[in-house]
Amino acid sequence: MPLNPYLVLSIGIFGVSTGAIFARMADAPALVTAAYRVGLAAAVIIPLAGWKARDELRRLSMHDLMLAALSGLFLALHFASWISSLDYTAIANSVVLVNTIPLWVGLLTPVIAKDRIQKLTVISIALSVIGGAIIGFGDFAIGPTALWGDFLAVIGAMCAAIYLLLGRNLRRKLSLLSYVALCYGSAAIILWLVVLSLNLPMVGYSTQTVAAFWAMALISQILGHSSYNWALKWFSTGFIAVALLGEPIGSTILAYIIFDEGLSGLKAVGGVFILAAIYLAARGEK
């Protein structure tokens, strides 16, 4: 392996942890923010892939192209459903439910990726879900509207799990550049079609919002998502899913530094559960 995969995965976790921070800085509808995040990332990656990976892209079978497009579809569905859930339910509900990704990865791995889930990974999945629930405890919202938002957040978690599992299969034979160009490109097309169909404003945003769009594309998407897509070639999907629960920990720390948001005792306890889950999952890797 050309790089230490634990280091690359750590960089990826830091990258995705900035997503919530930049999204808060962007004064735009949630779906527009998601479309710009993936669209600008694709605009950077696709020309680079056309230059560096042209021959590999030409050799891809229709089956590989369809799987990459399907992976992009589930990435787009993840962003669309999870970000939309924030309009209906409390942030705590959304964060806890979307962080059940490891649970869905564990249930779907034997079906999609044909991998075996290690015992330590099963324990780490349970700990990570408990940790996520503790982080959101006390801030949950109830009611019909919140229930619809909760449902969207669960759909977002399931779509993210399928996105990871499809990526695991493809990364075994595709270079990172080819995979992310196809995945991000198809996700961007889908999200922009949704933005157009809903007649959401696409231009006229402030300099701060445009800067936040670019920061999400370059740091959260290209650095963050691409780093753990690279790590999918070396780690099991279960471990990647558990490790990515470092995102709410990183986001909480960054929010404390940038926005001066308080750190509660429950968040600290939940963070300990998640860190313990990441450690156990890492111990279970070959």
Taking only the tens place, the pLDDT of each residue in 205-215 is: 999 999 999 99
Cα 154-155-159 angle, rounded to 5 deg: 120
How does DSSP assign 75-106, residue by residue?
HHHHHHHHHHHTTTS-HHHHHHHHTTHHHHHH
pLDDT at 261: 59
Whole-prediction pTM: 0.79
Retrieve residue 160's tokens.
């993210």
C-alpha to C-alpha distance for 218 and 202, rounded to whole angstroms = 19
CB 41 within 8 A of CB 19: no
How much is the pLDDT for 223?
Answer: 92
CA angle 170, 190, 72 (to 5 degrees): 10
Q: What letter represents residue 24's amino acid?
A: R
Please state, in angstroms and as integers, the Cα–Cα distance from residue 20 to each residue in 24, 92, 93, 170, 252, following that order. 6, 13, 15, 28, 9
Return the DSSP state at 233. T
Cα–Cα distance measured from residue 166 to residue 146, given in angstroms and rounded to the nearest whole number: 30
φ and ψ at residue 233, rounded to 5 degrees = -75, -20
> What's the pLDDT at 43?
95
Tokens of 214: 């670019």
User: What mean pLDDT value characterizes the chain?
Assistant: 80
Which residues are CB-neighbours of 231 under 8 A, at least 6 positions away?
A: 5, 8, 9, 12, 240
Q: Other C-beta atoms within 10 Å of 185: how many?
A: 21
What does residue 243 show for φ and ψ, rounded to 5 degrees? -60, -35
The first and second tokens of residue 279, run together, are: 């450690």
pLDDT in tens, the chain (286 residues): 667 888 888 888 888 888 777 877 888 888 898 999 999 999 999 999 888 888 888 888 888 888 888 989 999 998 888 877 777 776 656 666 777 787 788 777 776 666 666 677 777 777 777 776 676 565 555 666 777 877 888 898 889 889 888 887 787 778 888 888 999 999 999 999 999 999 999 999 999 999 999 999 999 899 988 888 888 778 777 778 777 777 666 766 776 677 665 666 766 777 677 777 766 666 655 5
CA distance 201 to 195: 8
- The secondary structure of residue 3, as a DSSP letter, is S
